[in-house]
Amino acid sequence: MEIRQIELFVAAAEEQHFTKAAERCGIVQSGLSSAIRSLEEEMGASLFIRNTRRVGLSPAGQVFLPEARRVLAAMRAAKRSIGEVQSGASGRIVVSMVQSLAPSLDIPRLLHEFRTAHPNVEISVRETRPSELSLELRRGSVDVAFMPSYSVNHSGLDVLSVVSSPMTIVGAADHRLVGERDIPFEAMSEEPFVDLSTRWGLRQIADQIFASQGAHRTTTFEVDEFSLLLQFVERGFGLAMVPRALIANHRLAALDVTLQNRNFPVWELGMYSAQQRDGLPANPVAQKFRDAVRRSVTRVA
């Protein structure tokens, strides 16, 4: 059974005349008659009582007509819904992120603005590790992800850099080295440090910088949450190496530490999505959200 057959049946039932129904549907009368005969064979019953002047519904046709109308109404509703999804007016997006997003990128605000502008869009937010995010983006179980660029295999992904910030060594606002100029990196060997666990990319960056300078540091506390690391540093338990952008709104100060023959590397936060296929986004509403973030980043810049 085809939708077109149902449309022709409803037209014939409403017009009570095959020729008028054919004109209404834009086909020849013989085509409409053939389609309805095929439908009757599939249903196993005559749907019309025919005579030379008009056609009327048979008992089976009277039963089938309201069901046929419901099928066509459901199809029209489905087409409207699909059209809304394709235009980005409705649908669902899954946004994922990792800990330590920079304060300069207010994801809750962006999501609130987007939901206000698109009230029919369902938004799901979750926190995931970068290694898992890359795979979920490619599978399509996540539409947009915000994560540090150093932790991502970029193959098959589109990326927009939304925050760039140099790494820096920070201490409590009243640390004795705050305000000193051109502190040699070797002096860091004499200071206690608060570090993230080794599963963090930020920890790996810090280890690489110390190794490049031939310096050693003493880790007095190792934590697994970035917010806890900042709290320990604020309370004077040690120094930490973090992106400068991530210490906003904390009672911390960046030390003026100099590296030998290089600058501190830049930490980048990217907005990631799976690359489009055939030039079309897999999820149009997610594309609208990415565009909104791009505009916001441009305004901030």
Q: Matching CATH topology for 3-87 and 164-267?
A: no
Pick the CATH number of 164-267 from 1.10.375.10, 1.10.10.10, 3.40.50.720, 3.40.190.290: 3.40.190.290
Asked whether residue 301 carries a pLDDT value surpassing 60, the answer given is: no
User: How confident is the model over 26-47, as pLDDT tens digits?
Assistant: 999 999 999 999 999 999 999 9
What's residue 300's pLDDT? 47
Domain segments of the chain: what residues?
Answer: 3-87, 91-163+268-300, 164-267
Distance (Å, whole) CA 290 – CA 260: 40
| CATH 3.40.190.10 is right for the domain spanning 91-163+268-300 | yes
Q: Is the pLDDT of residue 179 over 50?
A: yes
Q: What single-letter DSSP state applies at residue 239?
A: B
Distance from CA of residue 170 to its chain's centroid? 33
Give residues with Cβ within 8 angstroms of 96, minimum separation 6: 125, 126, 127, 128, 133, 136, 142, 144, 145, 146
Q: Quickly list DSSP for 166-187.
A: EEEEEEETT-TTTT-SSEEGGG
Whether the full predicted model's pTM is greater than 0.85, yes or no, is no
Burial class (CB in 10 A: 0-12, 13-18, 19+), 69: middle
Using only C-alpha atoms, the chain has a radius of gyration, in whole angstroms, of 32
Residues 60 and 125: their CA atoms lie apart, in Å, by 51
Q: How far apart are CA 76 and CA 88, in angstroms?
A: 18
The arithmetic mean of pLDDT across residues 163-182, rounded, is 94
Which residue has 């963090």 as its token pair? 200
Residue 184 pLDDT > 60: yes
Domain at 3-87, CATH from 3.90.420.10, 3.40.718.10, 1.10.260.40, 1.10.10.10: 1.10.10.10
For the chain, give the percent of residues with pLDDT over 90: 45
Other beta carbons less than 10 A from residue 44's beta carbon: 7
Close Cβ partners of 82 (under 8 Å, ≥ 6 residues apart): none
pLDDT at 107: 83
**Does pLDDT of 227 surpass 60?**
yes
Q: H or E stretch including 285?
A: helix 284-300
DSSP 267-279: EEEEEEEEPPBTT
Distance CA 178, CA 254 (A): 7
Under a CB-based contact definition with an 8 Å cutoff, are residues 22 and 14 in contact?
A: no
